[in-house]
Structure 1
Amino acid sequence: MNSPRPTATGQAHAPVLSAVAFFFVMAGYYIIRPVRDQLGGAVGAQALPLFYAAVLLVMLLLTPLFGILVARFPRKQLLSWSYCFFALCLLAFVPAFVAQDRIGARSLGMAFYVFGSVFNLFVVSLFWSFMADIFDSAGARKVFSLIALGGMAGAVAGPVITKLLVTAIGVAPLLVVSAASLLVALALLLSLSGSQQRGAGADQPLGGSIWAGIKELWSRPFLRYMAILMLLGDGIGTLAYALMADYTKAHIADKVARTAFYNDIDLYTNVIGAVLQLTVTRWLMMRHGAGWGLVVPALVNLVLLLGLALVGTGQIALFGYAVPMLAVTMVGSRAFAYGMTKPAQDALYTRVPRETRYKGKNFVETAVWRFGDVLVTSGVNLFGMLGVTLSGMASVGVGISALAAWIARRAGRAPDLAPDAPAKP
């Protein structure tokens, strides 16, 4: 049964608290993201299918567990247990990173890559499910880009913190800083949850089947579109990531230097994403609807991949600097994904029932996403064995981006979406 959800559009403190909480969520993740990525860069793209397959297996095992938690426990307990669990896991990894050279990048990389990916997907997905629970559609289009901006600020602060600390204290202590940031976010979300009780059943267990997230993938057109779009969009991002892993393995041998390199990629990505959220994203969603926030990034990816197909591994002149086209593609595709696609997706989820927002959304953004990672990285390795060049892979990506733009337009007009209320000034 779906009970009416509370709307927070009229309360000024809710968007502010949400943005600050998301700042700490993303700062905590981006402090450890370069740590995770340097392990991937140490082993190269050939190991990524194995990493992603392990993540997918864990996601499939966690899906029914998450369904049980959502069905039986209120959102306060769900938030508390999930965030505390990941904070404790971060602390448990500290001794392993102290002994990284003895354990080996491949073994530690497998374990931490699985954890880091699960951490990111569950913590962020749960945050936005909660946001879709307390804001209505009109409010979401008005404030989600600004809440996402808080997260983008955290995503900028995280790499800055890492860059300042990694050479001074090393890699392992960064995990403690990340855990502390996550717990601060939890405290803010619990405060926000306690103040948003308007609407019967807003903080009650959802009930229903633990497999509802999987079942709804076949019964809801909107969720099917989002799953396909997740696979296509992830294909572009994972292609760039896999190619970058080979680049760093070939050119950057030191783990601290690799961490700093990936840190810079994240920093530039998040600065551009923040600019998008401050300017284009909110205007586009308010004026033309959230659906167009899915279409535009797909078109941008198409242009970037055309450039990569033409230039390959070569460099282009950008603001007076010679920059590898691969880095430009990776930064550009990620910036639009975080700065436009994500707020638009989450605004559309306000127009579906609560069970879909938690169970269906979580399944698409965890298991489906990681299935795409396995598929794409395996394809990249296969193309490499067949002698397909980077330009050839980018040309395939152009076709994927065109298809993604078409699917994105259909997703914004899915027949099972609730009517969209006009946004208030």
Structure 2
Amino acid sequence: MTQGHDDREPSAVPARRIRGGEWPAVALSFAYFFCVLAAYYVIRPVREQLSAAVGSTQLPWFYGATFLATLALTPIFAGLIARYSRRVVVPLVYLFFIACLFAFVPLFAQPDLLSPRALGTVFFVWVSVFNLFVVSVFWIFMSDIWTSEQAKRLFPIIAVAGTCGALAGPTITATLVNIIGVAPLLLVSASLLGVAVVCIVLLGRWARTHGERRFETGQEAPIGGSMWDGLRQVFSDPFMRGMAILLLLADGIGTVNYALVADYSGATFADAVSRTAFAAKVDQAANALTVITQLTLTRWLLPRKGPGAVIMVWAVVSMLALSLVVLATDPHAPMVFGLPAVAVALIISRGLAYGMAEPARHSLYARVPRNVRYKGQNAVDTAVWRFGDTAIALSMNALRAVGVTTAGFAGISAMAAFAAATIGWRLSRRVEETPPAATQAATP
């Protein structure tokens, strides 16, 4: 794969190292991402047992509501970043979600304040929006303070922090939920986000004094433009269109697997506690695979071969995992460690998606203009993602009506993985072969 001339490494060894002046910021980035993902995964099992209880046929309604919420919030975020600096907007996003967590506490502590179904629906949608925005803003901030060369070296390492947080979150929930209940867990999640805000402030100070981007024009200035720029870029900019399609294909794999496992869980386990425990087990297995991949294959492959190669490996292995479901006589029968083929496919595809595809995909944004990083990237990672969830879930219901089985859905996902490999490779070559100066000067 042809690399941009400014990103070449003098040898294979330096590509793996964290350089001396980078250590403080890498440590803060690590703590930041750990806290963000731990905060999410502390409350995720509550959402998961709800989706298993209602069945995947109801997911389009949840996804549709989440899409509308993200569609409303995306231009608000773009409007804020257009008028205020990142040192104001990025912490503000996390403070908003902390306030929401505090607002949910009395609703869970006193069930008579809101009906269980209404609370469950609102919480499902809110957690889904929360996940997308806190993670999206994290990666936007990372691509804004690290250069493209640094992103390839450091993103696989920084991504490990999120996986560690994702492993810690379900463990905290499993340990504490029977002791303190659900409501106090929301305060645990809020506390973790508070630590993330401290990391953001300290990282901003480091970037202003030591970051390699500190000499670029307007690094701390408001971006300007319209609140609709992010959504407009998805349709008008070829790179952003490609990134949106890549995300939709990846989302197709994840959403189909998620729905199949939700159906299995709902049909197999009779109570909320069992469904929650099963969801936590799947999360722990997927996250363990993610951290192993980040520490080994991605850390080696991304600096040497670039994002395209990493995305291609993820897609090919996901195709092989989905073939287990296609070929299995009974995809719901125990297969590995007592887990059925549908759960194994979900664990492998999700583990590699976060262990390989996500660091590679986000490293591409480090070479685009700030206006695209903050607006277009956020639009893709929030509104486009949840649009994909809604469209895919509705399509699954329509395909079920004409007789498509679990194996058929897995086969469709495998084809999506093949398309994702092709598009990811082409996008990577296009961005990597564009000189950084030309890319930064481009107008989306």
* Common fold: TM-score over 0.5: yes
Whole-angstrom distance in 1 between the partners of 2:350 and 2:71: 25
Q: Is the 8 A contact 2:230 2:378 kept in 1?
A: yes
> What is the correspondence of 1:131-146 to structure 2 with a 5 Å cutoff?
131-146=142-157
Structure 1: distance between partners of 2:303 and 2:22: 19
- Is 1:234 the equivalent of 2:251? yes
Q: Residue 412 of structure 1: SS of its match in structure 2?
A: helix
Equivalent of residue 292 in structure 2, options 275, 295, 303: 275
Match for residue 261 of structure 1 among 273, 278, 303: 278
Residue 315 of structure 1 corresponds to: 333
1:26 aligns with one of 34, 37, 55 = 37
1:196 to 207, 210, 214: 207
Match of 1:67 among 70, 75, 78: 78
**Distance apart, 1:81 and its partner CA:** 1.4
Give, in angstroms, the shift of residue 59 of structure 1: 1.2
Q: How does 1:316-335 map to 2 (within 5 A)?
A: 317-318=335-336, 321-335=337-351
Report the equivalent of 1:3. none
Measure the CA separation in 2 of the matches of 1:397 and 1:86: 33
Q: Is the 8 A contact 1:141 1:347 kept in 2?
A: yes
The match for 2:189 among 178, 181, 199 is 178
Secondary structure (helix, strand or coil) at the match of 2:193 reads helix
Q: 1:385 to 1:98 in 2, by over 3 A?
A: farther
Amino acid at match of 1:238: T
Task: Give ranges in structure 1 of 5+ residues lacking alignment.
Answer: 1-7
Q: Distance in 1 between matches of 2:432 and 2:149?
A: 17
1:203 to partner: Cα distance: 1.7
Please give the alpha-carbon distance, in whole angstroms, between the structure 2 residues aligned to 1:412 and 1:272.
25
Whole-angstrom CA distance in 2 between matches of 1:415 and 1:278? 25
Question: Is 1:401 aligned with 2:417?
Answer: yes
Letter in 2 for 1:289: G
Using the TM superposition, name which of 233-242 and 212-221 deviates more: 212-221
Q: Aligned equivalents of 2:112 and 2:385: distance in 1?
A: 31
Shift of 1:152: 0.9
Alignment RMSD (CA, Å): 1.9
Residue identity in the other structure for 2:34: F
Deviation string for 1:215-262 (max 9, x for gaps)? 222332221111001111101110111112222222223222222211
Code of the aligned partner of 2:44: R
Aligned 8 A contact 1:138 1:420 in 2:
no
TM-score (norm 1): 0.93
Q: Residues 23 and 152 of structure 1 are in contact (CA less than 8 Å); yes or no, is this contact kept in structure 2?
A: yes
Are 2:63 and 1:15 aligned?
A: no
Question: Does structure 1 retain, via aligned residues, the 8 Å contact 2:42–2:170?
Answer: yes
Say whether the 8 Å CA contact 1:220–1:416 is kept in structure 2: no
- Cα deviation, 1:129-172, whole Å, max 9, x if unaligned, reads 11101110111111111111011111111111111011212222
Q: Distance in 1 between matches of 2:167 and 2:114?
A: 31
CA–CA distance in 2 between the matches of 1:132 and 1:297? Answer: 21
Amino acid at match of 1:82: V
Q: Does 1:291 align with 2:302?
A: no
Question: By how many angstroms is 1:21 displaced?
Answer: 1.0
Structure 2: gaps of 5 or more residues? 1-17, 209-213, 438-444
Aligned-partner residue type, residue 131 of structure 1: M
Q: 1:217 aligns with which of 218, 230, 234?
A: 234
Q: 2:132 aligns with which of 107, 110, 121?
A: 121
**CA separation of 1:45 and 1:112: change in aligned 2, threshold 3 A:** same
**Partner SS for 1:96:** helix
Give the AA of the match of 1:244.
Answer: V
Alpha-carbon distance, 1:102 to partner: 8.3
SS of 2:307's partner is: coil
- Deviation of the 1:202 alpha carbon: 1.5
Task: Using the TM superposition, give the Cα deviation of residue 304 of structure 1 relative to its aligned residue in structure 2, in angstroms.
Answer: 1.2
| Deviation for aligned residue 1:385 | 2.1
Q: Deviations over 1:64-121 (max 9, x none)?
A: 1111111011112112211011011111112222345885553222211111111111
8 Å CA contact retained: 2:107, 2:113 = no
- Residue from 427, 436, 442 that aligns with 1:411: 427
> Are 1:306 and 1:398, in contact at CA under 8 Å, matched by a contact in 2?
yes
CA contact (8 A) 1:352 1:417 kept: no
- What percent of counterpart residues are identical? 47
- Report the number of matched residues: 412
How many Å separate the matches in 2 of 1:351 and 1:66? Answer: 21
Residue number among 269, 278, 288 corresponding to 1:252 in the alignment: 269
User: 156, 159, 169: which one pairs with 1:148?
Assistant: 159
Supply the distance in 1 between the matched residues of 2:182 and 2:266 (Cα, whole angstroms). 19
